Structure 1
């Protein structure tokens, strides 16, 4: 009975307190969390020595991260060009250092996700793609520094830039506006790049750092869009394949007995001065000694400006279509060159008596050029 009374007194007078309690939210993986419980009590109004008990466990790793595409629009590429870069950011939202294996894929044609919307993928890029990870010494891709192809040791809440680079020339068969969608996939690994042990379905182990995989891998798309100059017929929207060159006969010896390569008169509408031989309605024909007028027209209907543009025509290259040796135009008879250019770039006539050469330093989108010159038929 005495024992029972003592126990009763103990139970009634006892009080419990918690001290040193910690919470693991945001705590680094592998951290030991120790919770201490203190039991304080009195017996028959006499305070007794407190009792304490500890419980310790390790904080586990939550595998979580995200990828964002740093681009604000499609990455413009040029046929035959190389070393085009699309930049991503990989951010760890884990509580532990992680690594990531990286890979790319040229997606199938069709509607593909891109940034906040979609793009219409209509081509395969058919070029080699390489992945490099920012090393950190200098911002932006540096070929001598950024050589890692996978991510290792990315600290909790840290981020790193990843570059997807076109490393072989773009095919010159691609045309303005073509789009290729490219996917970057990051697969989570341990900090050293080794595989993550997936403990999601394992029982809790208080003495072992376990891995809880919230995000195993993520894929984010980028888009490479062909942007180039495209020279078309400015007068015919349906003729979108090439610029145009037309030829007319504006004078001949029947019409003008004094015709030379320097003549500037145009009698294509009639009213020849030599009306004792021909009447006023005679139209010049392409007979030997006639003057022909060439008119070249071109519009840049592409999305990119062209630079160092040069229009060249050598009279020696204008020959009988049925013969490699016969020349149809008199050599050194090129004359009356006229250039009309709508753009802000500088156009220069560098022609000689035998070779038409018109150079334009900058030929912007929607700029139009018209070039005319004359020559004498052999």
Structure 2
């Protein structure tokens, strides 16, 4: 079946809305179509027009195999411990025939440890999100019966290790390898090879694909790379103490003797370049040889200096409590290069 330029233009416009990118066009007339060309020759003899002579030629259009794979978002930000992180890819059949495509998703050999690829899923609604219906449908290994110019979006799904370091990257390459249309959802068709002999009367095959990330031109496949970029909080904690007073020296050069008051300062910091740390819970288990000073209370969200850090803070806000032997406090979010602190006092028994 021939496709006119007008029809191809309409297809292009529709795909532009769906993908927000300019799609390539398929290779024209469909494989297997018959192209017939008739010729007629008229002539005169003795000024009398004779019966025209005619001839006809017919040939079959061969299969031109071409496919492209593109990544929807080249770099996707992930966090350590994230499950089912998604890289979205588009596979477009630019061939002039309906084909199957075998899929594979491979982690780059240079990746650090911490990536587990769970599988490839069909993104049925092409929204780049793995929803429950797509999870229930299960992972796929190939795309069945892709028609000319058809694009399908697939999702590479992976778990990110909890110990993945901030700014580390995990590269994944998705490949789509052309197969003959099997006509069955049970398995893809046979691999396609170049027809290198003289053109036949049937449908020959020409592999016309370009070179992708991990493949060469003219091999019937194409690949593209996506990257998981780890954005982690680089959190550290420190704890210091200072003697406030003792029963003998009061506040003048006090010593750590029984009855002395000791102030603890806990500082939680996030290094420069780290992702914002949220849901920060501090738990400090007091040893048996000190007694919590309820008259002083707990000061939360001070600075990192541990000197006069209680200024402007409220003692024992709703986010802090003491339940023997634990002092607990919830801190506000800590962004890159920020610190939060907790102050409380005890008496040495």
Whether the aligned pair in 1 keeps the contact of 2:126 and 2:153 (CA below 8 Å) is: no
| 1:201 counterpart SS class | coil
CA shift, 1:341, in A, is 4.9
CA shift, 1:131, in A, is 0.7
What is aligned with 2:67? 65
1:128 pairs, out of 95, 117, 122, with 117
What is aligned with 2:228? 224
Deviation by residue 1:51-98 (Cα, 9 ceiling, x = unmatched): 2111111111110111111115x2222222211000011112211112
Is it true that 1:142 corresponds to 2:131 in the alignment? yes
CA shift, 1:331, in A, is 5.2
Deviation by residue 1:77-127 (Cα, 9 ceiling, x = unmatched): 222221100001111221111211111111122xxxxxxxxxxx5x13341
2:289 pairs, out of 319, 324, 328, with 328
Larger Rg: 1
Is it true that 1:292 corresponds to 2:282 in the alignment? no
Whether the aligned pair in 2 keeps the contact of 1:334 and 1:376 (CA below 8 Å) is: no
CA shift, 1:289, in A, is 1.3
In structure 2, C-alpha distance between the alignment counterparts of 1:353 and 1:27, rounded to whole Å: 78
What is aligned with 1:194? 189
Gaps of 5+ in 2: 5-26, 183-187, 210-219, 304-316
1:157 pairs, out of 149, 159, 164, with 149
In structure 1, C-alpha distance between the alignment counterparts of 2:57 and 2:318, rounded to whole Å: 86
Residues 43 and 196 from structure 1, CA distance in 2 versus in 1: closer, same or farther, beyond 3 angstroms?
Answer: farther
What is aligned with 1:373? 344
What is aligned with 1:184? 174
CA shift, 1:375, in A, is 0.5
Residues 341 and 225 from structure 1, CA distance in 2 versus in 1: closer, same or farther, beyond 3 angstroms?
Answer: farther
CA shift, 1:45, in A, is 1.0
CA shift, 1:139, in A, is 7.0
Matches within 5 A, 1:1-378: 26-72=28-74, 74-109=75-110, 121=111, 123-136=112-125, 140-145=129-134, 147=138, 148-166=140-158, 169-192=159-182, 193-206=188-201, 208-215=202-209, 216-231=220-235, 242-256=236-250, 267=251, 270=252, 283-301=253-271, 303-315=274-286, 318=287, 327-330=288-291, 335-341=296-302, 348-352=318-322, 354=324, 355-360=326-331, 362-378=333-349
Residues 125 and 211 from structure 1, CA distance in 2 versus in 1: closer, same or farther, beyond 3 angstroms?
Answer: farther
How does the TM-score come out when normalised to structure 1? 0.70
CA shift, 1:332, in A, is 6.2
- The CA RMSD over aligned residues, in Å, is 2.5
| 2:160 counterpart SS class | coil
CA shift, 1:314, in A, is 2.8
CA shift, 1:230, in A, is 2.1
| 1:54 counterpart SS class | strand
| 1:144 counterpart SS class | helix
Number of aligned pairs? 291
CA shift, 1:221, in A, is 1.2
Whether the aligned pair in 1 keeps the contact of 2:43 and 2:52 (CA below 8 Å) is: yes
Residues 143 and 202 from structure 1, CA distance in 2 versus in 1: closer, same or farther, beyond 3 angstroms?
Answer: farther
How does the TM-score come out when normalised to structure 2? 0.76
Deviation by residue 1:290-332 (Cα, 9 ceiling, x = unmatched): 11111111222253223221112132xx2xxxxxxxx221256
**The 10-residue stretch of structure 1 (306-315 or 42-51) with the greater mean CA deviation from structure 2:** 306-315
In structure 2, C-alpha distance between the alignment counterparts of 1:58 and 1:311, rounded to whole Å: 75
Residues 60 and 340 from structure 1, CA distance in 2 versus in 1: closer, same or farther, beyond 3 angstroms?
Answer: same
In structure 1, C-alpha distance between the alignment counterparts of 2:65 and 2:59, rounded to whole Å: 19
Deviation by residue 1:269-289 (Cα, 9 ceiling, x = unmatched): x3xxxxxxxxxxxx1111111
In structure 2, C-alpha distance between the alignment counterparts of 1:341 and 1:82, rounded to whole Å: 34
